[in-house]
């Protein structure tokens, strides 16, 4: 294992490239730790100054197989000289990837339409939902994130997706998500009896023109701060939607391919959406996404009504096949579950010792820690969050930060991580927390 010594951030080479970036790139990207990534291997990333880091971000929940996975690298190397793109002509690679994926999908989901980005997949799902239901309105949730395009913005519940960007595609109706740590209704789970589900009819009565056709939901809210609803909530939502004849779209762009400890997050509660959006880990570094669905639903789309220049290209399809191979051979969803349970238990134990840790939540290798004012133990603390992210980076652990209040760290290492690697990272956290507490 690499040594996790103290390093000053940014190193001189990183600083030089960051300065160059300031001269030619707009500063509208997500605010990250100021280091410049050079290369990666497994769960490790090196910056241009030669410092190693354990990657607790997986990019942005993308590199589920770890960086430069040998199976994925050789699949791309083998495919490159054969063919890279052919628009929407079928290729053996694309059809094999769709076929294998369709066989793996739970429930009645049996069709796969390959695209490139998560927003491609959610936009396609919204189009299909409107066509199939013949209705314009879609119920979505506060804090939800489905991409940066205008259709996705119309069902987004986060401020930096909507604020000052004008009128989104109309038809989005917004309801509170089950963010139990900061309940919108000020209630406490389980005494609330999942009041937020019971309140959905009120939300729809007061906001819908009567043309509601679908619901779009993340199985856990990613961008909002790794917010996991309580057990039974998604099932309750599925039942509510079915009883009202609404199409259910689950956006698993970041939640699938083993991330939560199952291949697909909907498997935890045996959820049966009519449409499922996949992305990120699907290509584990190569852009690949898909809208998946029941054939009865997808047959509403006529030839030529869904397409994309890059979707399902042979390079991306070869990558998806390599990802499916690795998921099976290395049993990555199971490793994610086991390592995730261990990691979460260690953080929960730290929560008892450090008053600035407000909440620890997650499933598999997706864990959110919410930092709060150590005195009232509730007010979001961006300051502490920033110090944790920088302190961990200075000792070799790379984290993302996010959340509706900017006070959540994103813990999402590649699914190949081992316990010794987790222990090395946990030592770093312990050191940083101790310093902050002193």
117 binds ligand PLP (CB under 6 A): yes
3-class DSSP state for residue 430? helix
Q: Are 374 and 329 in contact (CB under 8 A)?
A: no
Q: Pick one of 146, 262, 395, 401: the residue that binds ligand PLP (CB under 6 A).
A: 146
CA nearest to 204, candidates 231, 237, 161, 235 = 237
Nearer to ligand PLP, 48 or 402 (CB): 402
145 binds ligand PLP (CB under 6 A): yes
Q: Pick one of 143, 172, 229, 279: the residue that binds ligand PLP (CB under 6 A).
A: 279
Contacts to ligand PLP from residues 207-236, by CB under 6 A:
218, 222-223
Pairing verdict, β 111-115 and 172-175:
unpaired
281 binds ligand PLP (CB under 6 A): no
Q: Which regions of 98-175 does DSSP assign to beta strands (E)? A: 111-115, 137-141, 172-175
Nearer to ligand PLP, 140 or 432 (CB): 140
Q: Are 341 and 417 in contact (CB under 8 A)?
A: no
Q: Pick one of 49, 123, 238, 251: the residue that binds ligand PLP (CB under 6 A).
A: 251
57 binds ligand PLP (CB under 6 A): no
Site string for ligand PLP, 404-433 (x = CB under 6 A): ------------------------------
Q: Count CA within 13 A, CB hemisphere, residue 243.
A: 8
Strand partners, 289: 115
Q: Pick one of 119, 276, 367, 404: the residue that binds ligand PLP (CB under 6 A).
A: 119
3-class DSSP state for residue 213? strand
Stretch that binds ligand PLP, among 112-120, 123-131, 318-326, 375-383 (CB under 6 A): 112-120
How many residues of this chain bind ligand PLP (CB under 6 A)? 14
Burial of 64 (0-12, 13-18, 19+ CB in 10 A): buried
Nearer to ligand PLP, 126 or 194 (CB): 126
Instruction: For the CB of residue 122, give the shortest distance to ligand PLP in the complex, in Å.
Output: 5
Q: Are 94 and 261 in contact (CB under 8 A)?
A: no
Nearer to ligand PLP, 263 or 372 (CB): 263
Strand partners, 47: 37
Phi-psi region of 102 (alpha: psi -120 to 50; beta: other; left: phi over 0): alpha
State how far the Cα of 403 lies from the Cα of 380, in Å rounded to an integer. 10
**Residue 82 φ then ψ, to 5°:** -80, -60
Instruction: For the CB of residue 284, give the shortest distance to ligand PLP in the complex, in Å.
Output: 13
253 binds ligand PLP (CB under 6 A): yes
123 binds ligand PLP (CB under 6 A): no
Binding site for ligand PLP (CB under 6 A): 117-119, 122, 145-147, 218, 222-223, 251, 253-254, 279
């Amino acid at each position: 294992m690499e040594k996790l010594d103290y390093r000053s951030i940014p190193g001189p080479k990183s600083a030089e490239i960051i300065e160059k970036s300031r001269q030619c790139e707009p500063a509208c990207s997500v605010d990250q730790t100021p280091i410049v990534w050079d290369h990666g291997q497994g769960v490790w990333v090196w910056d241009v100054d030669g410092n190693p880091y354990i990657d607790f971000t997986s990019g942005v929940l993308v590199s589920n197989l770890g960086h430069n996975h040998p199976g994925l690298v050789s699949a791309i190397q083998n495919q490159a000289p054969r063919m890279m793109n052919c628009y929407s002509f079928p290729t053996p690679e694309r059809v094999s990837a769709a076929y294998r994926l369709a066989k793996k999908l739970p429930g009645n989901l049996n069709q796969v339409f390959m695209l490139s980005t998560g927003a491609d997949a959610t936009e396609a799902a919204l189009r299909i939902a409107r066509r199939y239901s013949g209705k314009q309105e879609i119920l979505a949730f506060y804090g939800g994130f489905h991409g940066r395009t205008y259709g996705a913005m119309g069902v987004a519940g986060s401020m930096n997706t909507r604020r000052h960007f004008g009128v989104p595609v109309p038809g989005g109706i917004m309801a509170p998500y089950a963010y139990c740590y900061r309940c919108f209704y000020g209630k406490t789970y389980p005494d609330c009896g999942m009041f937020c589900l019971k309140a959905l009819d009120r939300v729809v009565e007061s906001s819908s023109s009567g043309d509601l056709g679908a619901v779009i939901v993340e199985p856990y809210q990613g961008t909002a701060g790794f917010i996991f609803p309580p057990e039974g909530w998604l099932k309750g939502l599925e039942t509510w939607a079915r009883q009202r004849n609404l199409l259910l779209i689950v956006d698993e762009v970041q939640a699938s391919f083993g991330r939560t400890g199952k291949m697909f997050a909907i498997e935890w509660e045996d959820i049966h959406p009519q449409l499922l959006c996949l992305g990120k880990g699907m290509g584990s570094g190569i852009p690949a996404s898909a809208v998946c669905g029941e054939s009865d639903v997808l047959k509403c789309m006529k030839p030529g009504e869904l397409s994309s220049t890059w979707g399902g290209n042979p390079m991306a399809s070869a990558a998806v096949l390599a990802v499916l191979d690795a998921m099976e051979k290395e049993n990555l969803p199971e490793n994610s579950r086991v390592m995730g349970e261990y990691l979460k238990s260690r953080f929960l134990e730290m929560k008892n010792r450090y008053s600035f840790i407000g909440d620890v939540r997650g499933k598999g290798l997706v864990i959110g820690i919410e930092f709060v004012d150590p005195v009232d133990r509730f007010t979001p603390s961006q300051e502490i969050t920033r110090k944790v992210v920088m302190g961990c980076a200075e000792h070799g652990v790379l984290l993302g930060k996010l959340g509706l209040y900017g006070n959540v760290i994103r813990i999402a290492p590649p699914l190949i991580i081992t316990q010794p690697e987790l222990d090395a990272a946990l030592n770093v956290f312990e050191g940083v927390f101790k310093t902050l507490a002193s």
